[in-house]
Structure 1
Amino acid sequence: MNPVLKVENLQKYYKTKGAVTKAVDNISFEVQRGEYIGIMGASGSGKTTLLNCISTIDHATAGRIFINSRDVTSLNEKKLARFRREELGFIFQNFNLLDTLNGRDNIALALAINGVEVRNIPRLIEQVAADLEISAILDKYPYEMSGGQQQRIACARAIVTKPSLILADEPTGALDSKSAGMLLDSLSLMNEKKEATILMVTHDAFTASHCKRILFIKDGKIFNEIVRGAKSRKLFFDEIMQVISFLGGDKGHAF
């Protein structure tokens, strides 16, 4: 079975004032369909740069990235724009909803951009809203929603087009603990019920404990990897905390 994501010998360099910084240093890994992967690391470790390269927002200096066996590092800007629209779903820290559209229309916009027939859009919205338990807020505007509600609308927008890979960048970073918990439940539901493949960058151990596998990045390299397997989330959290303590990073929330 081909992986949804395959990263091969990825490198990313930045030049600033005559100096060269290696943000991503020869990273390789794979993500299989239906996996829920977390990427953790201290500030400046390269985890966000890695996500930006995978999302095609940034260009790798060297190495290759395959999504559904397609080498995205070889695509031109026009093909990349179409590829992002058709194959990737995005969940951002700051929601990125359009304030002039209600929840229903924010989700509908993703479908319309992808060329879904107008007659099919209401049904698809109702389905994803029921799955994520947000039917009651579809007609609210972002300013009428809590942060957690906005982020769950953003989740629905990300998954409604059935992308091959969902990329989440610190999705709980702007949420209080209750809203964060609701969002994480939604992500787990997307993964388990819809078999969504999720790659999430986070600095928070509690958030990461909802994942099934964690890659720890240090100085632009994969430093460690742990798998949840049959462990309880509490035991997995404790294991994550041990690695973070060794790295000297942010411990985040506790149970």
Structure 2
Amino acid sequence: MQNGNPIIKTVRAGLEREPRINLHRWPIHLEVSDDCVLIMEGDVESVAAKKMAREIAGTVPEVRGVVDRLQVAPAEPKGDGEILDALETLLLEVRDLKNCTLRVMKKGQPLTLQEISDDDASGDILVGVKAGVVTLGGWVISLSHKRLAGVLAWWAPGCRDVVNELEVLPPEQDGDDEVSDALSLVLEMDPLIPHPGQIRIQTHHYVVTLQGLVNTQAERDRAEQDAWYLFGVNKVSNQIAVG
């Protein structure tokens, strides 16, 4: 038992202070390796809780690394096949991926959904689902494409986690503007946000601030959720008003 470990005590205290992380309802198992790497396992309520837990752990000076095995408990559990079918539909419907080859792993074999063979192809994406975890492999032409594919994976009902291993070719310099541009794209294509132009986005050091006015609390929550879904986003400040 490591409950008496001072690193675990410090991390657990930080987790208990974060209102998005309810350790009583969603307990997180913490373990520290001999080289002071913290391993986090368990289910959490949201992607926000997952990212905040990792962020809190990473700020503890004694922690030399974090292994994040936290997964988001889906509102309605789905089988891997159902998750993959839903994600197939999302990927094929998105305009910005129309010029990407799309393949999925089924029964251990890659199945091509859409093939682009010309020199102007925007990517070659391979999708797999195992135990509710979506893995994205292959390459895309931009960081926006990588982030978009990751959000679509999170949108698939039943998804518990996303491992986004897409390579950007040629490599791009990442930054706050890239995050803001990707989020603008995501909000525009989200059917649950009817007026994305009413939402203003600012990003500073990968912390996203949302401002503006929406009609319902559901829209406000959804916009924040989309921001948390983005690869690389560390924190979201939701200042959107409802009216």
Relative to the length of structure 1, the TM-score reads 0.34
Quick check: which one's strand share is greater?
2
Quick check: which one's helix share is greater?
1
Relative to the length of structure 2, the TM-score reads 0.35
